[in-house]
Amino acid sequence: MKENNLKIIFHIDMNAFFCSVACILMPELRGIPFAIGREGTSRGVLSTASYEARAYGIHSAMPTIEAKRILPTLRVVHIDYKYYQKYHNYFLSIIREYSSLVEVASIDECYADMTEACKNKHPIVLAKEIQAKILKQYDLPCSIGISHTLFLAKMASDMKKPLGVTIITPSNTRHLLGPLSVEDIYGIGKRTSPILLKAGINTIDDFMNPKNKDKVISLVGSNTYQYVRSHVLGLSSDVVDPNRYSKSKSISTSQTYDVYKESLSDMLYEMRQMTRSVIARMKEESSLCKTVTITLRDSDFNTITRRTKLEDFSDDFDLIYSVVSELAEENIEKDKSYRLLGVGLSGLVEKDSLPKEYNIFNVDDVMKKEIILDEMIHEFQNKYGKMALYRKKEKQG
């Protein structure tokens, strides 16, 4: 296929996005080593680190206490998530000035099909224009990768940071990708790359060398080998789908506590709030769930996940929280303290996609379920207090 018949895909990757937003809100952070995490404590791990902090070897997912040991003067700040969402919307608004085909990959990156936009402007010129506009209007630096597939565009955006623009074409793919470490292959995974490196498969050229085919397959399996090979050769998807992630397949939330939770009633109260939160998000998407999940992590970092399937799809708070509390009661051990609690909903479907089966002939069944649920709630409140579980009264009239 000729290069001029290929699509032109941009991958726009915001550089140290969380730190960039922090600097906008707190200009005194510019030029100093800092990280995003939990303020006022050495517990937990860092979400990300500024480029100045990375120069000291500090990185995302590093325990805060270890980062402080490396650099005692490191400043750790926390920013409300709503500000990240605000600036996420800002940079997306600029991308959408150039293309209607924009696929959000995460809060700090997206793909855009710029084939039409590049008919009268060279891709690199367009990329630099977009880059400059985002930086000038919102003070957000970004790197842009350009290629004919989503995978190669993503690989390109990682090559020059910050404020880089890289284009990968069929004619320069081997030259640009070949010398890269197998650790740099998008999607290869942190567990797989050490296996390859240990076996002497150090670069993408090593991986792609036909002489190493049997060796690589023995290490990672045929599926992974074929996946990587086809993606590197530019044979993967070139479809930018704006609706790919428009509907969540699952919704969850969790909270880590500086002061561990020991009281069952305290934990149930926390999980009730989490249940309200995930149900609110589910209702925003007009969805119903089939499966309810809780996550518990004790003070020794032992984590368990327990789930239950509902009889019917639902978005009813009382029903879902009764399942959450039941799972919690069954799995929280009295002699343990807990540092993390979580609630999740999965098996989501759009509410309008389900048939409306209720009618005058089965309304008695519905009422029976309501009576049973009210009895469960009354029994629960007698055991743990009225604040552990309650139902909002319907307004009269």
The mean pLDDT value for 229-245 works out to 90
Q: Note the CATH number of domain 1-171.
A: 3.30.70.270
Report the 10 Å Cβ neighbour count for 100. Answer: 11
* In the predicted structure, residue 380 carries a pLDDT above the cut 90: no
CA distance 173 to 170: 5
Could you please report the per-residue DSSP string of 263-292? -HHHHHHHHHHHHHHHHHHHHHTTEEEEEE
User: Which stretch of 30-44, 59-73, 145-159 has the lowest confidence by average pLDDT?
Assistant: 30-44
The mean pLDDT value for 116-132 works out to 96
Determine the pLDDT at residue 356. Answer: 47
pTM of the entire structure?
0.65
Here the tokens at position 74 are 């490191």
- Active site amino acids: 109
178-241, superfamily in CATH? 5' to 3' exonuclease, C-terminal subdomain (1.10.150.20)
Q: Do 250-388 and 1-171 fall under one CATH topology?
A: no
Q: Which of 320, 335, 321, 318 is nearest to 264 (CA)?
A: 335
CA distance 159 to 13: 11
| Residue boundaries of the structural domains of the chain | 1-171, 178-241, 250-388
How does residue 386 score in pLDDT terms, banded at 50, 70 and 90?
low
144 alpha carbon, distance to own chain's centre: 20
Give the residue carrying structure tokens 């009239």.
397
Comparing 84 with 394, the larger pLDDT belongs to: 84
Mention every residue, 6+ apart, whose C-beta is less than 8 A from residue 48.
16, 18, 19, 35, 36, 60
Q: Note the CATH number of domain 250-388.
A: 3.30.1490.100
H-helix or E-strand containing 48? strand 48-49
Here the tokens at position 78 are 């926390």
Look at strands 142-147 and 165-167 and give their pairing: parallel
H-helix or E-strand containing 324? helix 317-331
Mean pLDDT of the chain: 87
